[in-house]
Amino acid sequence: MGSTERSEQPVITKGIDKFFLNFYDILKFVLRFFKEMFTPPYEGREFVRQCYYIGNKSLLLITLTGFITGLVFTKQSRPSLAEFGATSWLPSLISIAVIRALAPLVTALICAGKVGSSIGAELASMKVTEQIDAMEVSAINPFKYLVVTRVMACMLCVPLLMAYTGLVAMTGSYLDIHLNEQTSLAIFVQNAFEKISFLDFFSSFIKTLFYGFTIGIVSCYQGYHATQGTQGVGKAANVSVVISMFLIFIEEIIIVQVINMLR
Amino acid sequence: MKPFTPEIHWDETVISIRDLYKSFGQNHVLRGVNLDLHRGENIVVLGRSGTGKSVLIKIISALLYPDSGTVNVLGLEVETLKHDELRDLRLKIGFCFQNGALYDSMTVGENLAFPLRRNMPHMSKRERDERIATVLEAVGLSQTINQMPAELSGGQRKRIGIGRTLILRPEIMLYDEPTAGLDPITCTDINNLINEVQKRFKTSSIIITHDLACAKATGDKIAVMKEGRFIKEGSFEEVFSDNDELIREFYDYNFIQ
């Protein structure tokens, strides 16, 4: 009994220590990002390259997923509205759902999977093969070159991709409504935007800005602090996706609460 | 033995290390290291894996910081330097990593151009290309300029790694296991290249290795490390005339290999 108590106590203390040390490390990493972001020289070329990669990597998947989301959501909603003879409300319902929730979430989750894992694995691989150290000893600031550019590219591209997802989802929805209700494009657009306010667009933009920051910073942190050789590369990619997705849902809850208070 | 007599300035110390200690948790890696590297000299640090050799050169280049002791490089105390001072100092120190550490997403030419673009933004493209050509010629791999690192052999990667370091014209070279994992003929090529770099670019070097052939071919002085401190220093002949068990073990192992 006594020996059990002696062995358990340090494990708990060690766990708490580790939690606070990790938290401190993450906080330092985030603060360093903001400091380096506003300090010249600016890595414009690498930032543009990263934006291209992020957009390019996710575009096809986002097109497919966005289109299917709009189409399926319309098909699923029609029977319920038809019971009340309210199928003419479909465009409004879909636009509210897509712009307020579906487009930001679908975009963020796809980017967390595609972009987050890719950034996590790339930086982890650079870390374990000493490429990051090689930059440091060549008097190049690897944090600015690798981390700041990627996080900023995520912060720019996720909102842009969200706008694109919304457009594609609404296209999918329109096609279904047009084929079933013979609604013209002009009426569809008019109905869709009737119930949408500036606050809806603005809140979605703010949400995706946070999601982009989360995906970028989490995956860069995991990659930048990778250990254990090639095993660490896989772990960094995996943990980047899991933590990013978890944080995206937490942020969604918080931001929705704040927006509802403002509404 | 070296094919030439190096020009060593015994009155000028480029690296001076005093009472250096470094631990990772309960693992005491360096336990009171003292070392002087003179201008133009090549010092080989010999020792078994885990004796703290790589940690020593990582501290010199400020990739790690010591728990206590001082590291003076070109007259500057490394651990007290501010960000910009450290950046300037790093331009004078070349660090060659064990596996080359080439940037995977760039061609050989881009790997060499990258440190120049970042550190000398006002250098013209013509000047940059000339410098890249000179370095590639020096490491004997001019034909690889458009190849990706994945297409190179282990020896070629190390040569390009040395070239990328030389591109900034450093005064000091730090080699981390330059011949590890290479066949004997490629090892000889790398040893010759290290000597060529010392002669042509007038560098002072610390070479971390456990390869006696490399130590003998490149070192003006050998320092044998055991359990975080130097147990023997001197020329190759002086060190290996000793009957210390570890030194004999080292010699016998390398001889059998």
User: Domain of B233: which CATH number?
Assistant: 3.40.50.300
* pLDDT, position B38: 93
* pLDDT, position B222: 92
Q: Which of B91, B93, B101 faces A130 most closely, judged by CB atoms?
A: B101
For residue B169, list chain A residues with Cβ-Cβ distance below 8 A: none
- Domain containing residue B114: 40-66+81-256
- Domain containing residue A147: 41-262
Q: Are residues A20 and A109 in the same domain?
A: no
* pLDDT, position B50: 79
| Distance of alpha carbon A208 from alpha carbon A255, whole angstroms | 11
For residue A126, list chain B residues with Cβ-Cβ distance below 8 A: 103-104
Taking alpha carbons only, the member of A217, A173, A212, A151 closest to residue A71 is A173
Q: Are residues A45 and A66 in the same domain?
A: yes
Is the previous residue joined to B121 through a cis bond, with omega within 30 degrees of 0?
no
Does ipTM come in above 0.85?
yes
| Distance of alpha carbon A213 from alpha carbon A231, whole angstroms | 26
* pLDDT, position A239: 92
Q: Is the CB of residue B3 less than 8 Å from the CB of residue B26?
A: no
Taking alpha carbons only, the member of B85, B63, B70, B88 closest to residue B13 is B70
CB contact under 8 A, A139 and B103: no
Structure tokens at A113: 């999977």
* pLDDT, position B129: 94
A140 touches chain B (CB under 8 A): yes
Reported confidence tier of residue B254, pLDDT bands at 50, 70, 90: low
pLDDT at residue A2 is higher than 80: no
Alpha helices (runs of H) in chain A, residue ranges in sequence order: 2-37, 44-83, 90-97, 103-111, 117-128, 131-137, 142, 149-181, 185-194, 198-224, 229-262
Q: Which of B61, B101, B115 faces A131 most closely, judged by CB atoms?
A: B101
Interval A158-179: pLDDT, tens: 999 999 999 999 999 999 999 9
| Distance of alpha carbon B209 from alpha carbon B54, whole angstroms | 9
The C-alpha of A242 sits at a distance from chain B's nearest C-alpha, in angstroms, of 26
Q: Is B139 domain-assigned?
A: yes
Q: Are residues A176 and A229 in the same domain?
A: yes
pLDDT at residue B2 is higher than 80: no
Interval A118-156: pLDDT, tens: 999 999 999 999 999 999 999 999 999 999 999 999 999
CB contact under 8 A, A134 and B101: yes
A12 touches chain B (CB under 8 A): no
| Distance of alpha carbon B35 from alpha carbon B47, whole angstroms | 15
As a whole number, mean pLDDT of residues B215-224 equals 91
* pLDDT, position A23: 85
pLDDT at residue B31 is higher than 70: yes
Number of domains in chain A: 2
Question: What is the percent of chain A with per-residue pLDDT over 70, rounded to a whole number?
Answer: 96
Q: Are residues A25 and A47 in the same domain?
A: no
| Residue B217, H or E segment | helix B212-218
CB contact under 8 A, A129 and B118: no
* pLDDT, position A5: 45
Share the mean pLDDT of chain B: 89
Q: Is B122 domain-assigned?
A: yes
Structure tokens at A197: 């306010």
Q: Which of B63, B87, B164 faces A139 most closely, judged by CB atoms?
A: B87
As a whole number, mean pLDDT of residues B169-188 equals 90
For residue B99, list chain A residues with Cβ-Cβ distance below 8 A: 129-130
Q: Are residues A26 and A156 in the same domain?
A: no
Residue of A nearest to B87 (CA): A139
Interval B117-166: pLDDT, tens: 989 888 999 999 999 999 999 888 899 999 999 999 988 999 999 999 99
* pLDDT, position A3: 43
Beta bridge partners of B45: B208, B223
Q: Are residues A34 and A108 in the same domain?
A: no
Q: Is B10 domain-assigned?
A: no
Taking alpha carbons only, the member of B99, B149, B110 closest to residue B132 is B110
| Distance of alpha carbon A224 from alpha carbon A261, whole angstroms | 38
Q: Which of A125, A130, A137 faces B90 most closely, judged by CB atoms?
A: A137
pLDDT at residue A9 is higher than 60: no
* pLDDT, position B93: 94
Q: Is B176 domain-assigned?
A: yes
Q: Is B104 domain-assigned?
A: yes
Q: Which residue has the tokens 């657009």?
A: A189
Residue of B nearest to A131 (CA): B101
Taking alpha carbons only, the member of B122, B119, B128 closest to residue B88 is B119
3-state secondary structure of B147: coil
Amino acid identity at A198 = F
Question: What is the percent of chain B with per-residue pLDDT over 90, rounded to a whole number?
Answer: 54
Q: Is the CB of residue A208 less than 8 Å from the CB of residue A162?
A: yes
CB contact under 8 A, B115 and A125: no
Q: Is B23 domain-assigned?
A: no
pLDDT at residue B68 is higher than 90: yes
Residues of B with CB under 8 A from a CB of A: 61, 63, 87-88, 90-91, 93-95, 97-99, 101-104, 114-115, 118-119, 164-165, 168
Interval A195-215: pLDDT, tens: 888 888 999 999 999 999 999
Amino acid identity at B134 = T
CB contact under 8 A, A140 and B168: no
* pLDDT, position B256: 52
| Distance of alpha carbon B34 from alpha carbon B220, whole angstroms | 17
As a whole number, mean pLDDT of residues B190-199 equals 90
Bigger pLDDT: A6 or A37? A37
Q: Are residues A25 and A53 in the same domain?
A: no
Amino acid identity at B138 = A
Q: Are residues A14 and A68 in the same domain?
A: no
| Distance of alpha carbon B140 from alpha carbon B121, whole angstroms | 27
Buried b (16+ CB within 10 A) or exposed e, B178-214: bbbebeeebbebbbebbbbbbbeeebbbbbbbbbbeb
* pLDDT, position A39: 86
Share the mean pLDDT of chain A: 89
pLDDT at residue A7 is higher than 60: no
Number of domains in chain B: 1
pLDDT at residue B182 is higher than 90: no
Q: Are residues A34 and A77 in the same domain?
A: no
Q: Is the CB of residue A178 less than 8 Å from the CB of residue A79?
A: no
Q: Are residues A132 and A227 in the same domain?
A: yes
Q: Are residues A29 and A90 in the same domain?
A: no
pLDDT at residue B100 is higher than 70: yes
Q: Is B73 domain-assigned?
A: no
3-state secondary structure of B32: strand
Interval B111-121: pLDDT, tens: 999 999 989 88
3-state secondary structure of B104: coil
Q: Are residues A106 and A2 in the same domain?
A: no
